[in-house]
Chains A and B, each alone.
Chain A
Amino acid sequence: MNEELEKLEANAVAAIQAADSNSELQDVKVRFLGKKGEIGKQMATLKEMPHSQRKAFGKALNELKGRLINATEEKKKELEEKALKKKISAESLDITLPGFRFPTGRLHPLTRVWHEITDVFIAMGFDVVEGPEIETEWYNFEALNLHSEHPARDEQDSFYLGENRLLRTQTSPVQIRVMEKMGAPPVQIVAPGRVFRRDATDASHSPVFHQIEGLVVDKDITMGHLKATLEAFNKEIFGKDILSRFRPDYFPFTEPSCEVAISCIICGGEGCGLCKRTGWIEILGAGMVHPQVLKNAGFDPKKYSGFAFGIGIDRVAMLKYSIDDIRLLYENDMRFLKQF
């Protein structure tokens, strides 16, 4: 290889190495490898060369061209990598700044509990039904053995909308409506819904609250069935280790009636403020459906028996989420709502 080519190569390599950007590199490429570039010029001299030298010079020239192309490619890659690095470093962000986000929507704790309770009962084979919030005295009281001067009506002061028309004080009227509609057992339903009592608002009372009514009627339904069903419910909702306690209570539409308590979810039965040192928390009312109620709904109490229960959804929500004031459920403060 002659000196000229060696010089050319040295120049080209130096130029390639010196290129600092893609465009500079492109210029170098054109200068040396382009149609009218240095290599091209040398190619043009081939024709005038003696035959003996032509072959060797041509080979050397081609090899040189190849080396330069490689060098350019390598340099190109190097430059690209450098550029990318630069771009990436220029794009650095404060990664702790808040992201671009839409607000998160949350369901109300009452809705959460409502869904959870109905799911538990659906899993146990209960259909979920509903009844009207505006009721008649017959469905809300009379059909449930609560005549107008019944002492138990003290606890159920109601809002009246007209003669014989009121806002239901309990979800129990759905029992009668369902039995009337179905006409014959088996009945296995729950009915969640809103109820109203003419109570002044305080930490534990609200004129509006929510209940879920349950009813099972069939042949040979026993108190043992009632207990097993509600024990299962309590465990599903409050935890596997929860114990249930049943004690006599009174509701005009069940006989026998019972009040169901769970072992305290805070102290586990040792006694604390929440359970008023008893170790137990009252959670729901239940009982065997009163024969007169079955009769009122058109079922023969000689053939069928049943059990019914009523659970306070608000109460369950308050216990589950440690909410100490029922008013919080209806004030809808975002600081409250976003916790669920």
Chain B
Amino acid sequence: MQVPVEWLREYVDFEDIPIEEVADKLTMAGLEVGEIYPERFGYENSYVGRVTNVSEHPAKPGFWILTVEDDTRGNTVLTNLREFRVGEIIPIGYEGFILPDGMKLESMKFGGETSDAKILSEADVEYSDNAEVILPLPESAKVGDCVPDAIGITQEVFKFDLTANRGDCLCVLGIARDLAAVLDRPIKKDVFDFELETKPLDIDFSVTIKAPMLCPRYSGRVIRNVRIEESPLWMRRRLVCSGMRGINSIVDVTNYVMIETGQPLHAFDLDTLQKRAIVVRRAIAGEKIKTIDDTDRLLDPYMLVIADKTRPVAVAGVMGGAETEIEGDTVNMLLESAHFQPRNLRKTATGLDMRTEASVRFEKGVNPDTTVKCSDYASYLIAKMGWGTPLDGLIDKYPKPVKPKKISLNPAKVQKFISPDIEPSEMEGILRRLDFVVEKPEKGKILKVTAPGHRFDIAIWEDLAEEIARIYGYNRVPSVMPKTLIHRAVMTPNQAGNRKLREILAGCGLSETITFSFTNLKELTRIWPDKTPVAVPILNPLTEDHTHLRPTLVPNMLKTIARNRANSPDVPLQLFELGKVFMDPENPAEEDALCIGVCGRSLRTPTKTDYNFQLPVYYVIKGIIEQFIDSVTPETPSFRPADNVLYHPNRSAEIYLGKEKIGELGEVHPEICANFDIRHVTAVATVDIAPLKAILDREPRYEAISRHPALARDISVIVPENVAARSIEEIICRYGSDLLERAYVYDVFRGEKIGEGKKSVTFALEFRAVDRTLTDEEVNPIMEKIIFFVRDEAGGTLRTS
């Protein structure tokens, strides 16, 4: 909503207050002025210029070629108006300047010479019709000024960002009413104070409302002999300043009244209506209408239409039909002013994808009290401008007039709710300033308040409290900390768990990513062509990439890695995302998931020769997972070969904690990497975090530590390459007795001595007893047993050093 300040001044005096301050006061009362901007009516491309060169046209006698400049621009102007002197100051319009006929100024050629600007005449800025008179510039005009600024026709316009409840403020009158209340000044002008002169009605026409729920009020007036012409400059200027365009006298007057009063109007050519009948009804299935924007629209039965005897002639409150539009030869015009039910109207406008100035107002509510007054106002303006003759016999169908609702207001309650500082008398005053009727009972303190017709948003006493508070000023309400009983505020265990996990993950050297919750089937099948995870589809997706809710975090992780790789090819990536995934399209459910991604050499070493080791990325991510799980629980995870096409078949594993599978990890299959444009070895892991969160929730329990020293041994076993170290470790642990505290891989060695296809794995073993220092005599038999079974069960040979 845009309102020219000049138009507001017609209603309220505020010359004494700077307009920025006025805008601020309106904003602080809930009518946000988003912007104050100068409206220049399409005359932006103009400036006050200085003539810097004059020469005669070489081919066309009587024409001069002028060079005109300001500090930043320069133009060439051909003119035959008169001879100019170098140094003269003149108004210039250049390419893009909008001429009175609506055309944009363009450069042109005349007699072989190019002119890219023109000297502005009075007619060019619609000062007069005189195209021969150069627009006179005031003394104050400076070279470089925009011409409308220089001659003072630029207008300040308030651009409002209104809230959805203030439909009453979608007009000058509405803004003026609030402004008057805010400034506590009177409204100077009654827009409805006029004498409408009419001629007798000499034709029949009818109005029938068949859907009174959707159309509580409908009025029609006949206007004879309409004259379609250009409306005067002052009217067009106000329309332009209000964000409309001048079209012709009748369209302009209906728009003008709508902008001023908020009541949308429509004009029919009455003689094109069959039987000169207006029937307000729901559309019939299959009915069509060609609207005035020349579009054929198929109507739905829930939509309200204005029809004549046989066909729809307008989509009620949204747009008129092309066939019944007024034309230059229209004799009898029917002026519609009505009130429509907002909800259905909004549904219709949305359904037809037609949001018009009229529909926007109707859907936010139009005052049903002033339907006829606004029609009369338009008729009055038409008569006054000589654009037609209003006939009497206005038909006004208003079967169930809206009864104003009385709301009981207890000032003490408002004081308790908003602020004890607001005096009841001030509450009354504020409400009266806002046109509310306040009745004071003889006894008691409860006020009876009736809202004015334009305030259909007021229904309960809390609404009145808001009106009082917003005019009183929210910032005057004293701040008081609520009193609460002391209690321990907590997070849900889930949130607390997520938070701990995030911190642990960051502690493991992983940086957190956050991505959208969306995916698409293409990227899911790029990873899992066969067992594609089932994703929840979005019925109305915004883009092709975001058609489903993600059932896994993996595709987004791969995309994040790919993007980072493209942006910074050498940066090592260690990332995690902890976010929701969605399952089961039938009965969508959401749960937290964790994905870890690693790409690039993440251990930074000073030089290649010093201690560079080419660790497979598999071991990097496995190390991270082990570190992560170790930060959560003392229990050690185990790893078994995974069966997931996402991964390199020989470099992936399932993660087990006890007997429970809690995730998978591995290097991403090279083909999938290629599918996601990743050229580096990349590993990802997914981990179920619910069991981890459950562990985090438990308090750790201390287990006694021995005060006696450990006895260390080691054992090197030569086994075929395909024997997993873990399987030997299991044998060692199985026969290590209670005294074996720890066994771990200490070294893996390959070489000629060991033989092809074999490896030597060295385990470090630590024996310890709780109650005594162990002796070799106690440990030796255990070692012999271990050695025996390692040979027997793993087929290993012992390597002696």
Interface residues of A (CB under 8 A from B): 97-108, 110-111, 115, 118, 121-130, 132-134, 147-152, 154, 159-162, 165, 167, 186, 188, 192, 194, 196, 198-200, 207-208, 216, 218, 220-225, 227-229, 231-232, 245-250, 252, 255-258, 288, 290-291, 305, 329-335, 337-338
Would you call B590 and A222 a contact (CB within 8 A)?
no
Across the interface, name the chain A residue whose C-beta is closest to B344: A149
Q: Which residues of B contact A225 (CB under 8 A)?
A: 480-482
Q: Report the 5 A-B pairs with minimum CB-CB distance, sorted nearest first.
A: A248-B30, A250-B163, A256-B466, A105-B506, A228-B479
B780 at the interface (CB under 8 A from A): no
Contact flag A104-B509 (CB < 8 Å), given A125-B484, A222-B480 = yes
Across the interface, name the chain A residue whose C-beta is closest to B360: A151
Could you jot down 25 A-B contacts, CB within 8 Å?
A: A100-B606, A100-B611, A105-B507, A108-B512, A115-B499, A122-B490, A133-B580, A149-B347, A151-B346, A159-B540, A161-B536, A186-B484, A199-B542, A222-B417, A225-B480, A227-B478, A228-B481, A248-B469, A255-B463, A255-B466, A256-B465, A256-B474, A332-B563, A333-B564, A337-B513
Would you call A161 and B481 a contact (CB within 8 A)?
no
Nearest Cβ on chain B to A103's Cβ, whole angstroms: 4
Selected contact of B343 from candidates A130, A149, A196, A245, CB within 8 Å = A149
Q: Which residues of B contact A246 (CB under 8 A)?
A: 474-475, 477
Q: With the chains together, A247 CA to B460 CA distance in Å?
A: 21
Nearest Cβ on chain A to B557's Cβ, whole angstroms: 9
Q: With the chains together, A122 CA to B495 CA distance in Å?
A: 13
Q: Which residues of A contact B580 (CB under 8 A)?
A: 133, 194
Nearest Cβ on chain B to A300's Cβ, whole angstroms: 14
- How many residues of chain B are within 8 Å of chain A by beta carbon? 95
Nearest Cβ on chain B to A136's Cβ, whole angstroms: 11
| Number of A-B pairs, beta carbon distance below 8 Å | 257
Nearest Cβ on chain B to A321's Cβ, whole angstroms: 14
Nearest Cβ on chain A to B702's Cβ, whole angstroms: 29
Nearest Cβ on chain A to B619's Cβ, whole angstroms: 14
Q: Which residues of B contact A127 (CB under 8 A)?
A: 489-491
Q: Which residues of B contact A111 (CB under 8 A)?
A: 502, 512, 514
Q: With the chains together, A165 CA to B421 CA distance in Å?
A: 46
Would you call A231 and B479 a contact (CB within 8 A)?
yes
Would you call A232 and B481 a contact (CB within 8 A)?
yes
Q: Mark B600-611, 1 if CB is under 8 A from A, else 0.
A: 001111110001
B681 at the interface (CB under 8 A from A): no
Q: With the chains together, A101 CA to B29 CA distance in Å?
A: 58
Q: Which residues of B contact A334 (CB under 8 A)?
A: 511, 564, 567-568, 571, 573
Would you call B505 and A105 a contact (CB within 8 A)?
yes
Would you call B417 and A288 a contact (CB within 8 A)?
yes
Would you call A103 and B480 a contact (CB within 8 A)?
no
Would you call B539 and A108 a contact (CB within 8 A)?
no
Known A160-B539, A207-B518; further 12 A-B contacts with Cβ < 8 A: A103-B509, A108-B511, A224-B418, A225-B481, A227-B477, A228-B479, A232-B481, A246-B475, A250-B166, A332-B514, A334-B568, A335-B568
Would you call B549 and A161 a contact (CB within 8 A)?
yes
Q: Which residues of A contact B165 (CB under 8 A)?
A: 152, 250, 252
Interface residues of B (CB under 8 A from A): 27-30, 32, 163-167, 342-344, 346-347, 363-364, 416-419, 460, 462-463, 465-466, 469-470, 474-475, 477-482, 484-487, 489-492, 494-495, 499, 502-503, 505-518, 536-542, 546, 549, 560, 563-564, 567-568, 571-576, 580, 582, 588-590, 602-607, 611
Selected contact of B416 from candidates A100, A196, A220, CB within 8 Å = A220
Selected contact of A208 from candidates B166, B491, B506, B517, CB within 8 Å = B517
Would you call B513 and A256 a contact (CB within 8 A)?
no
B418, B462, B514, B580 interface centre (most CB from chain A within 10 Å) = B514
Q: With the chains together, A115 CA to B484 CA distance in Å?
A: 23
Q: With the chains together, A134 CA to B466 CA distance in Å?
A: 33
Q: With the chains together, A129 CA to B489 CA distance in Å?
A: 11
Selected contact of B604 from candidates A98, A159, A245, A252, CB within 8 Å = A98
Q: Which residues of B contact A129 (CB under 8 A)?
A: 492
Q: Which residues of B contact A199 (CB under 8 A)?
A: 542
Nearest Cβ on chain B to A109's Cβ, whole angstroms: 9
Contact flag A161-B588 (CB < 8 Å), given A128-B490, A255-B462, A255-B466 = yes
Would you call B460 and A291 a contact (CB within 8 A)?
yes
Nearest Cβ on chain A to B629's Cβ, whole angstroms: 16
Nearest Cβ on chain A to B516's Cβ, whole angstroms: 5
Would you call A245 and B475 a contact (CB within 8 A)?
yes
Q: Which residues of A contact B417 (CB under 8 A)?
A: 222-223, 288, 305
Contact flag A102-B509 (CB < 8 Å), given A118-B491, A194-B580, A332-B515 = yes
Q: With the chains together, A226 CA to B549 CA distance in Å?
A: 37
Would you call A108 and B513 a contact (CB within 8 A)?
yes
Nearest Cβ on chain A to B167's Cβ, whole angstroms: 8
Q: With the chains together, A257 CA to B499 CA distance in Å?
A: 33
Contact flag A223-B514 (CB < 8 Å), given A107-B502, A165-B588, A255-B462 = no
Nearest Cβ on chain A to B596's Cβ, whole angstroms: 11
Q: With the chains together, A150 CA to B165 CA distance in Å?
A: 10
Q: Which residues of B contact A228 (CB under 8 A)?
A: 479-482
Nearest Cβ on chain A to B36's Cβ, whole angstroms: 11
Would you call B342 and A105 a contact (CB within 8 A)?
no
Contact flag A227-B29 (CB < 8 Å), given A107-B512, A149-B344, A160-B539 = no
Contact flag A151-B603 (CB < 8 Å), given A160-B540, A225-B481 = no
Would you call B582 and A134 a contact (CB within 8 A)?
yes
Contact flag A247-B491 (CB < 8 Å), given A107-B512, A125-B484, A334-B511 = no
Would you call B538 and A103 a contact (CB within 8 A)?
no
Selected contact of B538 from candidates A110, A118, A160, A333, CB within 8 Å = A160
Q: With the chains together, A220 CA to B417 CA distance in Å?
A: 7
Would you call B462 and A291 a contact (CB within 8 A)?
yes
Q: With the chains together, A123 CA to B490 CA distance in Å?
A: 10
Q: With the chains together, A200 CA to B416 CA distance in Å?
A: 43
Q: With the chains together, A130 CA to B518 CA distance in Å?
A: 21
Contact flag A152-B28 (CB < 8 Å), given A105-B510, A161-B536, A330-B514 = no
Nearest Cβ on chain A to B740's Cβ, whole angstroms: 31
Would you call A162 and B539 a contact (CB within 8 A)?
yes
Contact flag A149-B346 (CB < 8 Å), given A159-B541, A335-B568 = yes
Q: Which residues of A contact B32 (CB under 8 A)?
A: 247
Would you call A103 and B514 a contact (CB within 8 A)?
no
Nearest Cβ on chain B to A316's Cβ, whole angstroms: 15
Q: Which residues of B contact A248 (CB under 8 A)?
A: 28-30, 466, 469-470, 474
Q: Which residues of B contact A194 (CB under 8 A)?
A: 517, 580
A106, A107, A329, A338 interface centre (most CB from chain B within 10 Å) = A107
Selected contact of A125 from candidates B489, B510, B571, CB within 8 Å = B489
Would you call B540 and A249 a contact (CB within 8 A)?
no
Would you call A338 and B30 a contact (CB within 8 A)?
no
Would you call B514 and A132 a contact (CB within 8 A)?
no
Q: With the chains together, A199 CA to B516 CA distance in Å?
A: 13
Across the interface, name the chain B residue whose C-beta is closest to A332: B513
Across the interface, name the chain A residue whose C-beta is closest to B580: A133
Would you call A224 and B512 a contact (CB within 8 A)?
no
Would you call A161 and B478 a contact (CB within 8 A)?
no
Q: With the chains together, A198 CA to B546 CA distance in Å?
A: 11
Nearest Cβ on chain A to B617's Cβ, whole angstroms: 13
Across the interface, name the chain A residue whose C-beta is closest to B499: A115
Nearest Cβ on chain A to B459's Cβ, whole angstroms: 10
Would you call A103 and B164 a contact (CB within 8 A)?
no
Q: Which residues of B contact A220 (CB under 8 A)?
A: 416
Would you call B462 and A208 a contact (CB within 8 A)?
no
Would you call A249 and B163 a contact (CB within 8 A)?
yes
Would you call A100 and B479 a contact (CB within 8 A)?
no
Across the interface, name the chain B residue whose C-beta is closest to A146: B164
Selected contact of A151 from candidates B364, B508, B560, CB within 8 Å = B364
Q: Which residues of A contact B518 (CB under 8 A)?
A: 207-208
B165, B460, B465, B580 interface centre (most CB from chain A within 10 Å) = B165
Across the interface, name the chain A residue whose C-beta is closest to B559: A332
Across the interface, name the chain A residue whose C-beta is closest to B350: A149
Across the interface, name the chain A residue whose C-beta is closest to B421: A224
